[in-house]
Amino acid sequence: MPDLFAQISPAWALFLSGLICAVVPVHTVRKLVMVLAPLAAFLLFLAPSTLGVAGGVTQIAGMDISTYRLDRLSYPFGLVFILAAFLTAIFAWHNKDRVQDVASQFYAGSALGAVFAGDFLTLFVFWEITAIASVFLIFRRGTTASRNAGMRYLVIQVLSGVLLLAGAVMLWAQTGSLAFDEVGLDAGLAGWLVFLAFGIKCAFPFLHNWLQDAYPQSTVTGGVILSAFTTKMAVYALARGFAGEEILIWIGAIMTLFPIFFAVIEDDLRRVLSYSINNQVGFMVVGVGVGTSLALNGAVAHAFADVIFKALLFMSIGAVLMRTGTARVSQLGGLFKSMPLSAFFCIIGAASISALPLLSAFVTKSMILAAVAEEGHWVIWLILIFASAGVLEHAGIKIPYSAFFGHDSGRRPAEAPFNMLLAMGLAAALCIALAFPWGGYQWLYAILPYNTAYNPYTWDHVLTQYQLLFGATAAFVILRLVNLAPHEKLSTILDFDWVYRKLGYGAGVWIGDMAGRLMAHLGGVARGAQARWGRTLGEVFTPGGAVARALPSGTMSIWTAILLGVALVIAYVAA
C-alpha cells in the first residue's frame, strides 16, 4: 500500500477537493475540505522513500506518459505549492463563493500537476487547466473591467498552451519522445515555440501585461491565489527545459529593471504588487540563465521564498481592499490605527521582499547575485543591485507606508477577519523561519537541486546589504522631504499593452472602416459598370439594336472577307 501511494501525484488530492467543493453546498464543509486537501497532498508528497519517482506511467498511442516525477528540481516547487494551497485555503475561509472554492482547488492542483509532469502531454493538459481554472478568480469580481480583463487573460494564457503543444509535437516528431527534459534553443523552431510558451506565463518583457491587467481585477482572495502559482510554475519549466540559455540572463535583467519605474508611480497597490512579481521573477530568470549550480539553487530558493512573501503582501493589501473597498494609494493612509496586525504583517512581507537580513529574500536573492558575480556578468550584477534598491522603494516602503501610514485618509475600518490574520501570521512566520541563521536557511538549502556550501551570513554580505537598504531608504526620505518623489494619483499609466489595446485596436477599427468604405466604393463602381454594360448590350442585341438592323451588302462583304482572312491565318499557323 505505501508503494501505491508513492506513485500517486499529490495534485490529485486537490483535484478531488475541487470536485467535492463543486457538489457540496455547505460552506463550512467546503472550507474544511480545502484545508485538509493540502495536508493530504503533503502526505502523498512524503510517501516516496527516495527521489527519482516516476509515477502514473502509462502509454497512449505508443507514447510514454508520466503524471508524477519527483526529483530534486520538482521537490521544492511541489512543496511550496502545497504550502501555498494550505495558506490560501485558510485566508479564503470567510469567502462563501463556491465558484471561487472550486476554481482555486483546480488551479492549485493543476499547477502542482504541471510541476510533477514527466512529459509534455501531461504538462500541456495541466498548463491549460491552470488558465481555465484561474480565470474564474478574475471573472468573479463581477465588474465590467474584471470580465474584460479576464477575457484578455484567458486568450493570452490559452495562446501559451497552443504554442506549448505545437512545440511539443515538433519535438516528438524530431526525437520520437515526449519526455519533458532539457529542450534548449538548439532544438530549432520547436525549442523556440516552447520557450515562448514558457515566456508568456513567466511574463517576459512585452509579454507581461496580462499580469498587471488581470491580477488587480481579481477577487480579494483570488489575487492571493494567483500570485502564488502561474509565474513560479513557468520558472520551474524554464529551469527544467532551458537552464543555461544566455538569452535568459538579459531577459531576466530587463524584467528586474523596468517594473520599478511603473511601480513607483502606480496608484493601485495591487498593480504595484503585480509589477513586483515581474521584478522578482526577473531575478529567478537570471539565475536560470546563468545555469550554474549556485545560480539554479538561487533561482529555486528565491521562487520558494517569493511564493510566501508575495502571498503575504497580497493578503495584507487584500484585507485592506475587503475592509475599505479600495487599494488605491490616493484613497488610503493611516489604517494602522484600526488595522495594526495587518500593518505589522505587511511590514514583515515588505521587509522580506527587500532582502532585509534575517528575512527570507536575504538568503535567496544573494545566491543569484553571487552566482552572477562568479561568472563575471558585472553589467548584469549592477543592474540587479539597482533593481534590489528599487524593490525596497516600491515594495518595501511604498506599500506599507502608503496603505497604513502616510497621510491620514480618515478611514477607520475594522481589522481583518481572524482567518486572514492567521494566514498572514503563518506566512510571516515562514518568512522569518526560512532565513533563521540556525536551522532555517540550512533546511531550505538542503532541499534545493544541488548541494551547496553557500553561507549568506558573512560580514561583507550583511554590511553590503544594510548599506544598500540604508541608501535606498535615505533616497526615499529625501525625495519625500524635498517634494521630488513621484506622486500617485488616479490616472492611467501607459505600458506596452497600449500598443495592442489602444493603438492596435484603433488601427483595426480604422482598417475596418477603410475596408468598408473601399468595398462600398467598389460596389458602386461595379454597379455603375453593370448598368453601362447592360445599356450597351441592350443597344446591341435588343430587337431595335445594332445587330437587328439591316447592314449594306458592301459592308457585309468587307466583314466577311476580314473574318475569312483571319480564319485562313489561324489555319496556316496551326498547320
3-state secondary structure at position 242: coil
Model pLDDT, residue 506 = 77
The candidate with the shortest Cα–Cα distance to 288, out of 249, 230, 234, is 249
Residues contacting 82, CB < 8 A, separation 6+: 10, 38, 41, 42, 45, 112
Cβ pair 234, 277 in contact under 8 A: no
* Dihedral sign computed on CA atoms, order 317, 321, 323, 326: positive
Give the C-alpha separation, 287 to 248, whole Å. 8
Give the C-alpha separation, 430 to 309, whole Å. 9
* Dihedral sign computed on CA atoms, order 253, 255, 258, 262: negative
Over residues 20-38, the mean pLDDT reads 95
Flag whether pLDDT at 208 surpasses 80. Answer: yes
- Residue recorded with cell 496556316: 572
**pLDDT tens column, 376-405:** 999 999 999 999 988 988 888 899 999 999
59 alpha-carbon distance from chain centroid: 31
**pLDDT tens column, 481-524:** 777 666 666 666 767 666 766 777 677 777 878 888 888 888 88
Alpha-carbon distance values, 208 to 254, 389, 400 (Å): 12, 22, 25
- pLDDT band, very low/low/confident/very high, at 533 (cuts 50, 70, 90): confident
Give the C-alpha separation, 449 to 51, whole Å. 11
Strand partners of residue 187: none
Cβ pair 33, 20 in contact under 8 A: yes
Model pLDDT, residue 487 = 65
The candidate with the shortest Cα–Cα distance to 63, out of 160, 171, 164, 159, is 171
Flag whether pLDDT at 182 surpasses 50. Answer: yes
Cβ pair 73, 288 in contact under 8 A: no
393 alpha-carbon distance from chain centroid: 23
* Dihedral sign computed on CA atoms, order 381, 250, 237, 20: positive
3-state secondary structure at position 569: helix
- pLDDT band, very low/low/confident/very high, at 58 (cuts 50, 70, 90): confident
Give the C-alpha separation, 352 to 396, whole Å. 8
* Dihedral sign computed on CA atoms, order 188, 194, 200, 205: negative
Single-letter amino acid code for the residue at 104:
S
53-60/63-70 β-pairing: antiparallel
**pLDDT tens column, 285-299:** 999 999 999 999 999
The candidate with the shortest Cα–Cα distance to 258, out of 395, 354, 390, is 390
CA angle 363, 220, 152 (to 5 degrees): 95
**pLDDT tens column, 300-356:** 999 999 999 999 999 999 999 999 999 999 899 999 999 999 999 999 999 999 999
* Dihedral sign computed on CA atoms, order 334, 340, 342, 343: positive
The helix or strand, by DSSP H or E, that contains position 68, with its residue range, turns out to be: strand 63-70
Residue boundaries of the structural domains of the chain: 1-242, 245-488, 495-519
**pLDDT tens column, 190-203:** 999 999 999 999 99
Please state, as a whole number, how many other Cβ atoms lie within 10 Å of the Cβ of residue 47: 19
